[in-house]
Structure 1
Amino acid sequence: MENNTHTSKVLIAKSYGPSDVLEFQEITLDTLPQGFARIRVKAAGINPIDARRMTGEFKHAGLPQTFGTEFTGEIIEIADDHSDFKVGDFVLGSGNGFTHATVIDVPVGNLIRRPENIAWEVAGSIAGVAQTATTVLDEIGPINSLLVHGASGGVGSIIVQLARERGITVVGTSSKRNLEYVNSLGAIAVEYGDGLTERIKEVFPNAFDASIDMVGNEQATQVSLEVVKEDGVIGTIAGKPTSSERVVPFWVKRNPQNLQHVVNGIEAGKFTWEIDSTFPFENAAEAYSKILEGHTRGKIVLTF
């Protein structure tokens, strides 16, 4: 194993607030721990939870804070004599605390290979949302119908497709401009806003087996309480307090096999993967502001 010294430019926030709290910090990385790979990042997705941590709406660690859960890049050092990976391999996966940085250290067990025909910006945006979506479906268990609030976003887009792959009927809500996209994923698309319950019942009059909220607003909670059967699952990944004890929070569980399944589907053209927009790492503040606006179609990605 080579024992090189590497530096990394890391996105941090020393306080909570809008995107102008973000800054870059240059750090020297410690000796690479056993079982880890050092990655030069090529692209990293931004998820709504990153932006909500920036504003302080969601707090799970103290200040200063770092950001990012998914990435793709090139291995520049590895400390695992039994791994099939080597220096120079292109990989993707989940981070070990943060991925919005130029160089990161990641457990080898979090990595899978990046297929050549998957663009960097796509590869860097898969791991977090793919594993979140599969976690939700696995923990809900066998169902026949699912209501997805916020079906056009990163997690929403893939959970619709994974659910349809399992033979589940899906109704997905979105803004008007994303209805056609949600339909193309295999869901019955319904525009959110006033009168949502009635519009959902028009297209799916039966009670749903389950619902999942990607948005985290009160309308999603109240509508789900009205249209999901009494013993059905009402879940959320938004990480926000809810007004009903029936709403179950789901948290991602890392599973490289589930991630590989989604990557294989994207590589084969079976799953659609939409990139809303990309921003150079230096323009991270602009990217974070955009994700807070909502209404994204697919993923917002930082490129390096």
Structure 2
Amino acid sequence: MKSTILIAQKYGQADVLEFITNELPPLSAGMARIHVKAAGINPIDARRMTGEFKHSPMPQAFGTEYAGVIAEIDPNNGIWSVGDEVLGSGGAFTHATVIDVPITNLVKKPANLSWAVAGTLAGVGQTAMTIIDEMGPAKSLLVHGGSGGVGSITIQLAKEKGIDVVATASASNQDYIRDLGATPVVYGDGLIERLKEIHPEPFDASIDLVGNEDATQASLATVKSNGFMGSTAGKRLSSSKIQAVWVKKKPSNLKYVVERVADGRFSWVVSREYPFAQAQDAYRDILVGHTKGKSVLIFD
């Protein structure tokens, strides 16, 4: 069986992306072979493409989440069969037509979820659950970059726990933040003053999903001295008080979020869909930012 894979041979903008087609080796024990139907695009993918975030040698592949159909699997696995519709996580290789993933990472795709939605939940769901777990008990939370994928789910998980949430976003996404249950604030000049006006009491916790200096300074100025301040940006920040949060992949956490999206308890937006052949356009748009919800590659 062959797979067409999105790769980059060098760092750069979206025009460095190209497709290669390889013959796949025999399926290894403990793995499932998946025909990909949809795969979400995350900012980390674009940052790896440009070289801002480097953790693997060239050439490199991309994508950390997917939804698809099982094409091959050990028939004695006891749970899954060829033809089952699934979703889950991968390790920087899901932007491809066929992928091999550990059987233990598979989560059943609810029948009422579109491929586009199912293919965009693994990364954000598990990252948001990691944030909630690591910040510990809190009554108030500041989310920097609340309109993106991780922000959207983090807000709803926090509200489910009764946490008062304030979230920053662009002017065009203020209503979306409000619909998610958080108090919206426009980022940019004067952010600290606006936050203190809207939420005079110091926050118990903050999470930076953007990774810029404005977010760092706003957290330092508005969060309790002993409060949790985290960042998923994966870059060096100006203050060591902001601790890095790295996603912990846990299928049970993913299933928790998937069930809530499927039954309508959580709102979820896939704002941009791109055919796999137009991956360069998708990555180009990701670099611009200001995404509401998530972008996704769709496969034939």
TM-score by length of 1: 0.97
SS of equivalent residue, structure 2 residue 286: helix
Gaps of 5+ in 1: 1-5
1:98 alignment partner in structure 2: 93
Does residue 107 in structure 1 map to residue 102 in structure 2? Answer: yes
1:283 alignment partner in structure 2: 278
Check the 8 A contact 2:31/2:103 in 1, yes or no: yes
Check the 8 A contact 2:63/2:91 in 1, yes or no: no
Does residue 49 in structure 1 map to residue 44 in structure 2? Answer: yes
The one-letter amino acid paired with 2:246 is W
User: Which deviations, in whole Å up to 9, do the C-alpha atoms of 1:55-112 show, x marking residues without a partner?
Assistant: 0011011111110000000000002623311000000000144100000000011111
1:184 alignment partner in structure 2: 179
The one-letter amino acid paired with 1:36 is M
Aligned residues: 299
Counterpart-to-counterpart distance in 2, 1:247 and 1:37 = 38
User: Which deviations, in whole Å up to 9, do the C-alpha atoms of 1:33-59 show, x marking residues without a partner?
Assistant: 111100000000000000000000110
Does residue 214 in structure 1 map to residue 214 in structure 2? Answer: no
Equivalent residues in 2 for 1:60-71, closer than 5 Å: 60-71=55-66
SS of equivalent residue, structure 2 residue 7: strand
Q: How many percent identity over aligned positions?
A: 58
Counterpart-to-counterpart distance in 2, 1:7 and 1:146 = 46
Once the two structures are TM-superposed, the CA of residue 281 in structure 1 deviates from its matched residue by 0.3
The one-letter amino acid paired with 2:288 is E
Once the two structures are TM-superposed, the CA of residue 203 in structure 1 deviates from its matched residue by 1.1
| CA spacing shift, 1:202–1:16, aligned 2, 3 Å | same
Counterpart-to-counterpart distance in 2, 1:209 and 1:28 = 52
1:263 alignment partner in structure 2: 258
SS of equivalent residue, structure 1 residue 173: strand
The one-letter amino acid paired with 2:277 is E
Equivalent residues in 2 for 1:125-140, closer than 5 Å: 125-140=120-135
Deviant stretches of 4+, over 4 Å: none
2:294 alignment partner in structure 1: 299
SS of equivalent residue, structure 2 residue 71: strand
2:152 alignment partner in structure 1: 157
Once the two structures are TM-superposed, the CA of residue 246 in structure 1 deviates from its matched residue by 0.3
2:236 alignment partner in structure 1: 241
Check the 8 A contact 2:66/2:87 in 1, yes or no: yes
Counterpart-to-counterpart distance in 1, 2:92 and 2:294 = 20
2:20 alignment partner in structure 1: 25
The one-letter amino acid paired with 2:118 is A
2:118 alignment partner in structure 1: 123
Counterpart-to-counterpart distance in 2, 1:206 and 1:279 = 43
1:166 alignment partner in structure 2: 161
Check the 8 A contact 1:36/1:80 in 2, yes or no: no
Gaps of 5+ in 2: none
Check the 8 A contact 1:33/1:79 in 2, yes or no: no
Equivalent residue for 2:3, pick from 8, 14, 22: 8
